Structure 1
Amino acid sequence: MNSTSFMTRWQQESLPLVAILRGITPAQASEAAEILLSCGFHWLEVPLNSPEPLKSIRLMRETVAGRGFVGAGTVLTVEQVLQVTDAGGQLIISPNCDPRVIRQSVECGLVSLPGVMTPSEAFSAIAAGASALKLFPAEHVTPAIAKAFRSVIPQEVACLPVGGIQPDVVQMRSYIRAGANGFGLGGGLYQAGMSMALLRERAQAYQHAWLECVE
């Protein structure tokens, strides 16, 4: 999915947030997917440094079916892209910008969201065919820096801050005003071993915060 196609699809999202489920196990995968779908989340990421991540991706993809997108995070190699593809993944999300990983993701027909923290990385990712850009870590890519990025990055390329994003209307709104198109949510949404009831509570908190931001 090229950046223009991704942006068109992304702008149709009522909740343009990626749920990052680092540490999730296959035993929780299907239930977590159903909870997140019920809270409006349609983009689900299982980082590859989770227990049996490919199994969780398969289970979540079966659960989500045509209702959303499931894929892998912390993808660092071409070989991992191929493994995720075989598991039915639709997203390849990385903490870094590796053009080889991006190109392989594109070749496999997957959504590619590489991590970038400098303009040089951003334009390298765009040139390799990235679907969108993950501004990571957001603790360092402040709203002021995100605004500077947005002034030079083509408008058809979505920018999603990831790292330290809380269900905080003030924080979210500051990034949105700087030009962010949504967010990736990690530890503030899910932590390994947490109950599914708490996941629902946190997912609803992010849902409400986003809706308040865009009112």
Structure 2
Amino acid sequence: MTDWFEDTFARAPLMAILRGMGVERSAELSTLAWDLGIDAVEVPLQTAEDDAALREVVRLGEERGKIVGAGTIITVEQLDAAVAAGARYVVSPGLDPAMVRAAQERGIPILPGVATPTEVQAAVGLGLTWLKAFPATWLGTGWFAHIRGPFPQVRFVATGGLSAANVGDYLAAGVRVAAVGSALEDPVQLERLSDVLAARS
């Protein structure tokens, strides 16, 4: 699974998270993200409408050769729903070894959330080297510099409170992928995100 995330996130350092936006808006913003150069799109799966939105974004992604993930996966039932909807990877807000094993049994890559060295070490013990750092703005950019010392092999996707104003700081701190959500609905931020992508292309 390590190589899978390496390949999936290799082309762009940004991820789009489309939380609770409904089918139509999720379709619009996923297309906008792909046009901007953001390859990774995640649709959090918490309601029936989210399931419909995920299925539509997956359909659009397949037309463009893009991979779509499902987020906020905290139960096996959600995991199975994500797989059924066509998600190619799943993201959890925290680290639950049972969820990690369930995803591994189903052959679907998982990004569990971590916020402490203990959680990072536990994730590494489960065979993971790609992790979600959440909530990123609460952790701060300095956290990543400290955590790289004992865990140089771990790659982080930073989520939670990021925008065009601070994604560059997190990427400079060593984050491999920075996730944004509402920034996609702000024309000013879109221009700045485009500049970030251009600088790292």
Q: Show CA shifts across 1:78-129 (max 9, x none).
A: 2211111011111211111111112222222222111100011112223224
1:19 is paired with a residue of what secondary structure?
Answer: strand
State the 1:167 CA deviation: 0.8
Q: Is the 8 A contact 2:171 2:178 kept in 1?
A: no
Cα distance in 1 for residues equivalent to 2:132 and 2:76: 19
Aligned equivalent of 1:125: 123
Aligned equivalent of 2:140: 142
Q: Is the 8 A contact 1:24 1:50 kept in 2?
A: no
Q: Is the 8 A contact 1:137 1:163 kept in 2?
A: yes
Identity %: 29
Cα distance in 1 for residues equivalent to 2:56 and 2:168: 34
Cα distance in 1 for residues equivalent to 2:119 and 2:29: 33
Q: Structure 1 stretch 26-35 or stretch 110-119: which is displaced more?
A: 26-35
Cα distance in 1 for residues equivalent to 2:41 and 2:8: 15
Distance 1:124 1:33, change over 3 A: same
Aligned equivalent of 2:49: 52
Distance 1:174 1:200, change over 3 A: closer
Cα distance in 2 for residues equivalent to 1:70 and 1:85: 11
In the alignment, does 2:139 pair up with 1:152?
no
Distance 1:48 1:146, change over 3 A: same
Aligned equivalent of 2:171: 176
Matched AA of 1:205? R
Q: Is the 8 A contact 1:102 1:129 kept in 2?
A: no
Distance 1:49 1:200, change over 3 A: farther
Structure 1 segments unaligned to the other structure (5+ residues): 190-197
Cα distance in 2 for residues equivalent to 1:178 and 1:51: 37
Q: How does 1:70-81 map to 2 (within 5 A)?
A: 70-81=68-79
RMSD of aligned residue pairs (Cα, Å): 2.2
Distance 1:129 1:201, change over 3 A: farther
Aligned equivalent of 2:2: 3
Structure 2 segments unaligned to the other structure (5+ residues): none
Matched residues, number: 200
Q: Is the 8 A contact 1:35 1:200 kept in 2?
A: no
Q: Is the 8 A contact 2:75 2:99 kept in 1?
A: yes
Distance 1:8 1:27, change over 3 A: closer
Among 206, 209, 214, the residue aligned to 2:193: 206
Q: Is the 8 A contact 2:41 2:67 kept in 1?
A: yes
State the 1:200 CA deviation: 6.5
Among 34, 54, 59, the residue aligned to 1:37: 34
Task: Normalising by structure 2, report the TM-score.
Answer: 0.87
1:179 is paired with a residue of what secondary structure?
Answer: coil
State the 1:44 CA deviation: 0.9
Distance 1:29 1:176, change over 3 A: closer
